Amino acid sequence: MDSLIETFHIDVKLLIAQIINFAIVFSVLYFFALKPLLKVMGERTKKIEKSIDDAEKIEEKLARSEEEYKKEIIRARKEAEIILEKAGQRAEERKQETIANAKEEIGQIINQEKAKIQQEKAKTLKEIKKEVADLVVASVEKVLSEKVDNQKDGELIKKMVKR
């Protein structure tokens, strides 16, 4: 080994001092630089992993929310169709009701007009009978040339009207 040391001109004391210096520098760098750096990198890795897990959870929630949204939209459309169908049925019922009411009102108006016509007919018949009676009385007076009293007048009128 001595020949090796002499051949390469290695100083053992200097080599030991350099090894100790290297160990001291390595220890200082390890404790003050590498260890905190590894700690920070480990925390950063955990944060990244947590962020990835959170992102996956959020994506799952988003997918579930989208599915629920689609289901709610479908349910709302079905409810809207049911409401529109009911509204159409109600409109048809109201239409039929209105038509029935209008027919009933028309029937009442027709009946009222028929009653008025009957009353007017009766009134006209009374007037005609009275006029006929007056004409008969006038004719009879002319024929008889004298006026008969009211009692006889009434009896004659009744006889003439019956004919």
DSSP states of 110-161: HHHHHHHHHHHHHHHHHHHHHHHHHHHHHHHHHHHTSPPPHHHHHHHHHHHH
> What is the band of 139 on the pLDDT scale with cuts at 50, 70, 90?
confident
Q: Stretch 51-70: mean pLDDT, rounded? A: 96
CA distance linking residue 36 with residue 7, whole number of Å: 43
Q: Which domain holds residue 24?
A: 2-162
pLDDT at 148: 55
The more confidently predicted of residues 14 and 6 is 14
Q: For the residues 111-120, what does the mean pLDDT come to?
A: 94
Which SS3 state, helix, strand or coil, does residue 49 take? helix
Kindly indicate the confidence band of residue 8, based on its pLDDT and cuts at 50, 70 and 90. confident
Average per-residue pLDDT for the chain = 88
Counting the structural domains of the chain, the total is: 1
Cβ-contact 161, 133 below 8 angstroms:
yes
The residues near 129 (Cβ < 8 Å, ≥ 6 apart) are 161
pLDDT score recorded for residue 1: 63
Is 60's pLDDT higher than 60?
A: yes
Residue 65's pLDDT is: 95
* Mean pLDDT calculated for residue range 51-72: 96
- Rounded CA-CA distance 121/92 in Å is 43
